[in-house]
Each structure stands twice: as C-alpha cells, then as structure tokens.
A = this chain, B = another copy of it.
C-alpha cells in the first residue's frame, strides 16, 4: 500500500493567510528552515492506479496538481480517485469534496451524523448529485471494518477499520440537527490494512484521552497522530487566541502529559506527527522542539511524504 501525504498542516495551512506569527513571517521572508505545508490530506493505493482519499481538505485541488498519480489521464473526464473517507464534518476535513463536483463518480464514506450535517444542512453538497452517476454516500460507523472497493466494484486490496475518537461535531452544526445526532459519529480514526498485513493508524486531530486509546497505538506499523501544538498555551503566547491546546481538543506534544511523555513506551509503530499548526515550533527544523521530537523517535509529516507498507 502506498500512502501519500498531500498535506500535513492543521486548518489554515502553513503559512496561514491571516497569520504573521514567527513561523509564518519567517517562511514568507525565506528565512525559515522548513517547508510550507497545505492542510491535512492523504491518499492511499494498493495498486498505484486506484486511489482513496483520507479526508478532503480545502487545498485538495492544488494538492492534486502536485501529485501526478491523482491526475486525469488523456481522454474525456476521468480520475484515479475512487473514493473519500471522511473522519469528521469539520471544514478542513470536508471542503475539498465540493472541489470534486464536476459530474465525476465518487464514493464517499462517512458516518450517518457527518452525512446529515453535510448533506442536510449544506445545500452546496447537492452539487454532487446533479447527474445520476455522481456521488454515492456509504454509511460507516465506529467499530466497523470494511474492504474499500473501487468504483467498478473490485477489491482495492485495502481494508478499513473505523474507531471512535474523542471530539465533537463542528461548532457551526445547527442546534436542531445536533439534537438528532449520535455522539459516536462525530470523529473517527482509521486503521488501514494492506494486503501484506501491515497496518497504519490515521488520527490527525484528536487528543489522547484514555489509557485504552494509548494502548491501542501499539497495534500498528505506522502511526499518523495529531501534532497540532507543541505547548498547551502556544496560541496564547503567539497572541492569536485565548484558548489552550487542551481546551481546543488537542494533546500538546511537550510537557508532562504531553504526547512525547504519554507515548514514551511506544515501540512498534513508525511514529509521525501530522496536522501541525502553523505556530508549532517543530516546523522549524533548526528549533530545539524539532530536535526533541526527532530524538524521541518521531517524524514530522510534510507535503509529498510517501510511505509504503
């Protein structure tokens, strides 16, 4: 299974359009040791021809422009993209769906709650249903395991397992809709298994809030984990928000009870931080924070990163 990281940043990307923090400013001035990153997006394929997207970021169009394997081949309308697996209804995980609206067949896997928010409270998503053979939504739920199928019904060679992650539905969910939703539908993580038996966990935006969740991370070969913030009070220090990482639903990387601390005993998986916020010092490859992360055996995902398993 090929895993392509098309975007590695948290919502807003790096640099963020309205951010003049130390990282963003230096990146724009080309005095930063590190690279720009678009919003979190991955694509996976077992055969190199049929691809599935993990999430659909607002940067998806540009991300496809940067990844030839996802581009149309010669001839009328066509795409190697078979489907999209949505892990929440947040804008930075779903907006790209609307960029895949040009009358192209597409399977979209999402929980019932995520579908309800997107399809019943956002009329724009009807643009995916202008012709008969366009988007097909498939219900998934935490606890479910299913094989990913290509658009012509063939086995993709990838098996997907959804599990519940802590987190809520988006803040903009209408109250009347929210009252109808099942809490376990809000945010899911994914375990993808390749035909070689290797597994990858995809958890780009949730805190490590239970010993069970932490223990489960040992059971994979590659782990993509939320690396939004280095410090709990990073946004406060940067002067861009009054909220801590933990209040926003993220486990900071550093400090007691931070990710490095909680996962110091993790031995099996290759460990990769993704969904990195523009203010996070680990983006700066010359920083002490970056050195600490690397010394602890972690990698920092970047746009264009590719893994085979």
Contact = CB atoms under 8 A, between A and B. Distances in A.
Contacts of A91: 98, 101, 124, 127
Contact of A240 (B21, B77, B127): B77
Contacts of A172: 123-127, 130
Interface stretch (A42-50, A61-69, A152-160, A225-233): A61-69
B124 A15 contact: no
Interface string A251-279: 00000000000000000000000000000
Which of A36, A81, A121 is packed against the most chain B CB atoms within 10 Å?
A121
Interface residues of A, number: 60
B76 A130 contact: no
A36 B66 CA distance: 13
A249 interface: no
Contacts of A121: 122-123
A72 interface: yes
A79 interface: yes
Nearest to A123: B121
Contacts of A144: none
B130 A78 contact: no
A68 to B, nearest CB: 7
Contacts of A19: 72, 76-77, 102
Contacts of A240: 76-77
Interface string A117-148: 10001111111001000000000000000000
Which of A74, A170, A173 is packed against the most chain B CB atoms within 10 Å?
A74
A17 B127 contact: no
Nearest to A177: B123
Nearest to A125: B172
Contact of A61 (B13, B73, B173, B241): B13
Given A91-B127, A170-B127, A20 B100 contact: no
A130 B12 contact: no
Nearest to A29: B74
Interface of A: 11-13, 15-21, 24-25, 28, 36, 58-59, 61-62, 64-65, 68, 70-79, 81, 91, 95, 98-104, 117, 121-127, 130, 170-174, 177, 238-241
Closest 5 CB pairs of A and B: A126-B172, A76-B239, A121-B123, A20-B72, A18-B79
24 contacts: A15-B72, A16-B72, A17-B102, A18-B78, A18-B102, A18-B104, A19-B72, A20-B72, A20-B73, A20-B74, A20-B75, A25-B73, A58-B98, A59-B62, A76-B238, A76-B240, A91-B101, A121-B122, A121-B123, A123-B174, A126-B171, A126-B174, A127-B170, A127-B171
Given A19-B102, A25-B75, A126-B174, 7 more contacts: A11-B102, A18-B78, A20-B73, A20-B76, A121-B122, A127-B170, A127-B172
